[in-house]
């Protein structure tokens, strides 16, 4: 994928990092209770202490909250800026077709720790979307951890993860996130609540596929089959069943919150093959 040919976000990336770095650079996550805890935290945006069933939460080191300009050679900033700009372009067009106005999210790059409208975050928490401030948060160490721990490197694999988080913003814009939250409050069991969470996450995967479809249609982007394979491999690697099998040796479907490997791959493919957000009704399918 020639990501440098994608449009800029036009100021949509806020830089709170202490330094620059290239995609794939940065510090690795450690001290969170083992590989599976690190992987779940990195990909699911979950505090490791919650997964471990307790433990103290420590406030992250505060980073500068001032937006800074990216140096010309800061490729990680430029990469994220172009992916966000592309998602903005795609979803603005999709919303316009249905008579809606798309509000572009802000993507916050940070290193070590930061604050969000949803609370504090440090490097053990992976990319996440906060609906309270309409911002996506991404620690610069994520790409390195993704590559080292899961073998999930590659620019389009990274792009898929960003597009997935943008998918959560789309859900927030459409009011889907609020509907799911209300349904979860009324759920009669944890398993039922989890099923709503799975549907929400799979829809974000499908929305990421819709974005990939639109990018594939742009000759300038030069999206290849190898790029799509990167995204599919990443989706398979972060399925609940794959992570549970790797971490504890067995699978508990009722505890799934993001979907199985097969489900994540299937829904990304559905969005990619159709290019139609209307095909992403994971709630009806479930």
- 8 A C-beta contact, residue 25 and residue 76: yes
Confidence of residue 36 (pLDDT cuts 50, 70, 90): very low
Three-state DSSP state, 61: coil
Number of structural domains found in the chain: 1
- Bigger pLDDT: 116 or 53? 116
Q: Residue 273 is part of which domain span?
A: 3-285
Distance, in Å, from the CA atom of 84 to the CA atom of 80, rounded to the nearest integer, reads: 6
Three-state DSSP state, 95: helix
- Bigger pLDDT: 220 or 216? 216
Q: Tell me the per-residue pLDDT of 172-203, one tens digit each, with 9 for 90 and over.
A: 999 999 999 999 899 888 888 888 899 999 99
As a whole number, the mean pLDDT across the chain is: 78
Give the whole-number percent of the chain exceeding pLDDT 90.
Answer: 45
Q: What is the dihedral of CA 214, 216, 222, 228, to 10 degrees?
A: 120
- 8 A C-beta contact, residue 266 and residue 233: no
* Total-model pTM: 0.79
- Bigger pLDDT: 250 or 258? 258
Distance, in Å, from the CA atom of 286 to the CA atom of 268, rounded to the nearest integer, reads: 16
Beta pairing partners, 78: none
Q: What is the dihedral of CA 257, 262, 264, 266, to 10 degrees?
A: -140
Number of H helices, E strands in the chain: 11, 6
- 8 A C-beta contact, residue 125 and residue 108: no
Closest CA relative to residue 157, chosen from 229, 92, 260:
229
């Amino acid at each position: 994928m020639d990501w440098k040919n994608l449009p800029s976000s036009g100021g949509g990336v806020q830089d709170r990092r202490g330094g620059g770095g290239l995609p794939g650079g940065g510090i690795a996550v450690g001290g969170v209770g083992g590989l599976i805890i690190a992987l779940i935290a990195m990909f699911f945006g979950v505090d490791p202490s919650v997964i471990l069933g307790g433990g103290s939460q420590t406030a992250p080191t505060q980073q500068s909250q001032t937006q800074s300009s990216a140096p010309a050679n800061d490729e990680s900033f430029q990469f994220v800026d172009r992916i966000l700009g592309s998602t903005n372009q795609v979803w603005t067009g999709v919303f316009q077709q249905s008579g809606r106005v798309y509000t572009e999210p802000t993507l916050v790059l940070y290193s070590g720790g930061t604050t969000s409208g949803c609370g504090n975050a440090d490097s053990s928490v992976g990319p996440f979307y906060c609906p309270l401030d309409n911002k996506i948060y991404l620690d610069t160490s994520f790409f390195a951890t993704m590559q080292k721990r899961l073998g999930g490197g590659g620019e389009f694999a990274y792009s898929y993860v960003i597009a997935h988080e943008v998918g959560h913003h789309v859900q927030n814009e459409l009011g889907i996130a609020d509907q799911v939250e209300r349904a979860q409050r009324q759920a009669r069991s944890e398993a039922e609540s989890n099923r709503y969470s799975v549907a929400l996450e799979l829809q974000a995967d499908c929305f990421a596929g819709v974005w990939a479809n639109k990018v594939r249609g742009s000759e300038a982007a030069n999206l290849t089959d190898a790029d799509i394979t990167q995204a599919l491999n990443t989706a398979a690697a972060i399925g609940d069943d794959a992570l549970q099998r790797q971490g504890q040796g067995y699978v508990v479907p009722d505890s799934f919150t993001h979907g199985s490997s097969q489900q994540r791959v299937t829904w990304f493919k559905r969005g990619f093959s159709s290019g139609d957000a209307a095909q992403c009704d994971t709630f009806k399918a479930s």
